[in-house]
Amino acid sequence: MVNLIRVDLKNCIKNDKFKMVFLLFIALSLLPFFMMCADVFGVTSLELFPTGIMGLTLGRTTRPVLNFILIMLPLIVCLIYSDSYIFERDNNICIYFFARNKKSKYFISKIISISIIVFLTVFFALSINEALTFLAIPNTGVRGYMGLPDYELTSNINHFFLQSILESSPYLYNFLLIIIISVYSSFIAIIGFNISIIFRIKRITLFICMFLGVHLSEVILPMQFTMESYIQALPYKLEYFFITLLGWLILCIFTGVVGIGIESRR
C-alpha cells in the first residue's frame, strides 16, 4: 500500500491540474496580504490591530478573500485529486493496478493519498499569509477585538471560538484555524472521491454535486454544526465542534465503505 500511496502522490504532484490549484491557493494567500498592507499603510499604532488578528483567518480587511475561499473550497479541493479514479477508469489505467492489488487496497491508498495531498496543499498555502503578516507588520497595534481597545473588552464575553487560546497565543490560534480549514478540505475531497466510486459519475458531475452538496449542508444544518462556523471563529462550544468533526469523519468512512464495497462486487 505504501508503494501505491507513493505513486499516487507522485502522479498528483506532476499533474498540471494540481499545479494550477496550488498556484491558485498561493495567489489567494498573497492577495489578502497585499490588501492588508494597503489598508494599514501610513496608519499609527492607535489605528492598528495586533498582528495576530490581521492575517487571512481573522483580519477585517481580508474577510472577503476568506469568504471567497470558503465558497469555492468544495470545487477547488476536489480538483486536486478527487477525480483520479474517474480518469484512471475512463483510460483503463486502473485495471493494471487491480491485476497486482486488491481493489480495497487500491481505493484505501487513494483515500490516504488524497487526504495527505489536500491537507498539505491547503495548510502550506494559507500558512504563507500568516508568516508574511507576522514578518511585515510590527506588533504595536492597540486596537483589540471587534475594533475596541483591549481595556474596553468584557473578559467574560466570548467573541470567538476558543477565545482563551486567541488571547494567550494569537499566532497559535491562527494556525489552529488553518488546520481546521485543511482538515475540512480533506474531508470534502475524500467524500468527493468516494462519491465518484459509488455512482461512477463524470468529472463535471462530481464537481457540481460536491459544490452544491457542501453548501446545501451548510444551509440545512444548524450553524453550530457547520465547519464554516468554526473556520470563521464564531463563538460556539467546543463540544459542538467535536460533534461536527465526528459527523464529517463518519460521513467519510461511510461513503468510503459503501464505495469500496460496491466497486469490489463489480
Tell me what pLDDT residue 152 has: 46
State the pLDDT confidence band at 58, using cuts at 50, 70 and 90: confident
| pLDDT mean over 58-79 | 91
Better-scored residue on pLDDT, 151 or 119: 119
Q: If DSSP codes are grouped into helix, strand and coil, which group holds residue 5? A: helix
Rounded Cα gap, residues 65 and 250, in angstroms: 30
- Per-residue pLDDT tens over the stretch 78-88: 999 999 989 88
Tell me what pLDDT residue 115 has: 96
Tell me what pLDDT residue 246 has: 97
| Mean of per-residue pLDDT scores for the chain | 86
Q: If DSSP codes are grouped into helix, strand and coil, which group holds residue 145? A: helix
Least confident range of 161-175, 177-191, 234-248: 161-175
Tell me what pLDDT residue 77 has: 95
Q: How many helices (H) and strands (E) does the chain have?
A: 11, 0
What are 260's three cell numbers? 469500496
The domain limits of the chain are 2-264
Tell me what pLDDT residue 22 has: 94
- Per-residue pLDDT tens over the stretch 136-175: 776 655 555 555 455 444 455 567 888 888 878 888 899 9
Closest CA to 266 of 118, 127, 95: 95
Return contacts of 142-148, CB within 8 angstroms, 24+ apart: 142/45, 142/46, 142/48, 142/50, 143/46, 143/47, 143/48, 143/49, 143/50, 144/49, 144/50, 145/53, 147/60
| pLDDT mean over 240-251 | 96
Least confident range of 32-36, 47-51, 99-103, 260-264: 47-51
State the pLDDT confidence band at 48, using cuts at 50, 70 and 90: low
Residue 192 predicted with pLDDT over 90: yes
| pLDDT mean over 205-217 | 95
